[in-house]
A and B are shown apart, each in its own frame.
Chain A
């Protein structure tokens, strides 16, 4: 699986958009970008994933650059409850159940009032 690089920590003001970057310059053509987050002492929560098109759901938006070497997770209106460690993971996916996830260090997002 391609390695990802994320900033170790970020701050965001409550109510503002949180933009979390991820670099994955060695991504392969069949690898997806997945985002999870982990709130303290809980299991990771799935947020969103994509292959090459931008994606949006009720939690967030995922913007993937045209060359697919980087992506940005956007939380449009961050709340205090969005404070968590956010993991960007790149791996083969989509239809073949059983592909493992490899967690890196993630970005610790602190949403401040």
Chain B
């Protein structure tokens, strides 16, 4: 149980395009999902907290217009990187909280912007 999936696992795109990453909780409902970013050899950095049916809460320094988050249902949250640039290349990881407030993480999405 407690499986979180992400799609795609890897994406390469041209500079200026937008990329959507999906995060799904497969066997539980998650009122809260989180999006993290991880640069090589660094720890995970929280980008935003996503609550079902409401606007996401972004961490300081994270541009909400650049990283659009939608949490349309209790099992799905999406992160859209708009007008991606090479500096947005990173490993993006989502997590979902179950009713006992334990976070389970997705496998991550590696984004490369050329």
Which applies to chain B's interface (DSSP): helix, strand, loop or mixed? strand
Known: A36-B105, A97-B100. 14 other contacts (CB 8 A): A34-B102, A38-B44, A41-B110, A43-B108, A46-B102, A46-B104, A49-B102, A93-B101, A94-B100, A94-B101, A97-B97, A98-B32, A98-B97, A101-B34
| A–B complex contacts, Cβ < 8 Å, 17 sampled | A41-B91, A41-B110, A43-B6, A44-B44, A44-B95, A49-B102, A87-B43, A93-B102, A94-B100, A97-B32, A97-B100, A97-B101, A99-B97, A101-B34, A101-B46, A101-B95, A103-B43
Write out, one digit per residue, whether chain A residues 71-104 have a CB within 8 A of any chain B CB (1) or not (0).
0000000000000000100000111111111111
Which applies to chain A's interface (DSSP): helix, strand, loop or mixed? loop
